[in-house]
Amino acid sequence: MIRFTEVLHASLLVADLPRARRFYEGLLGLVPDAARPAMSFDGVWYALGQGAIHLLVVANPDPVTGRPAHGGRDRHTAIGVVGWAELRVRLDALAIPYTVSQSGRNALFVRDPDGNALELIEVDHG
């Protein structure tokens, strides 16, 4: 029997790695995973619990503009967040646009500079 157990990583396409790193590291506070090996192309890994986000510098076939206003109606990567209310305050302070989940739970959708949608969901564990 085949059984899928978890998502190990999500790869997101970015055009400008320094700009993307300012978003993922500067805004979200993620830390590059130095344990990951260098690849034959530019990018960066961020460990997230048992999984990871892998930014890939390649030409993005998707448009950055014209995407649905609510990231929940687009391809997105969902990430659990401890300190969700603090993150929301940070986004508001920096005037970073986002939409809240329509489900009523503490979750919001934000886009990185390349239009990749992230669903940031409050979790109560580390």
Q: What CATH number did the domain enclosing 82 receive?
A: 3.10.180.10
pTM: 0.88
Does 37 map to a domain? yes
In whole angstroms, what is the distance from residue 71 CA to residue 104 CA? 15
Instruction: Please give the helix or strand (H or E) that residue 91 lies within, else none.
Output: helix 84-93
* Cα–Cα distance list, 109 to 22, 32, 42, 98 (Å): 18, 22, 26, 5
Domain span at residue 83?
Answer: 9-58+68-122
DSSP SS3 for 61: coil
Does 42 map to a domain? yes
In whole angstroms, what is the distance from residue 44 CA to residue 40 CA? 12
Express each pLDDT in 44-81 by its tens digit: 999 998 999 999 998 877 877 888 888 988 889 999 99
Kindly tell me if the per-residue pLDDT of 36 is higher than 70. yes
Domain count, the chain: 1
Does 3 map to a domain? no
Express each pLDDT in 3-34 by its tens digit: 767 888 999 999 999 999 999 999 999 999 99
Does 2 map to a domain? no
- Provide the pLDDT confidence category of residue 98 given band limits of 50, 70 and 90: very high
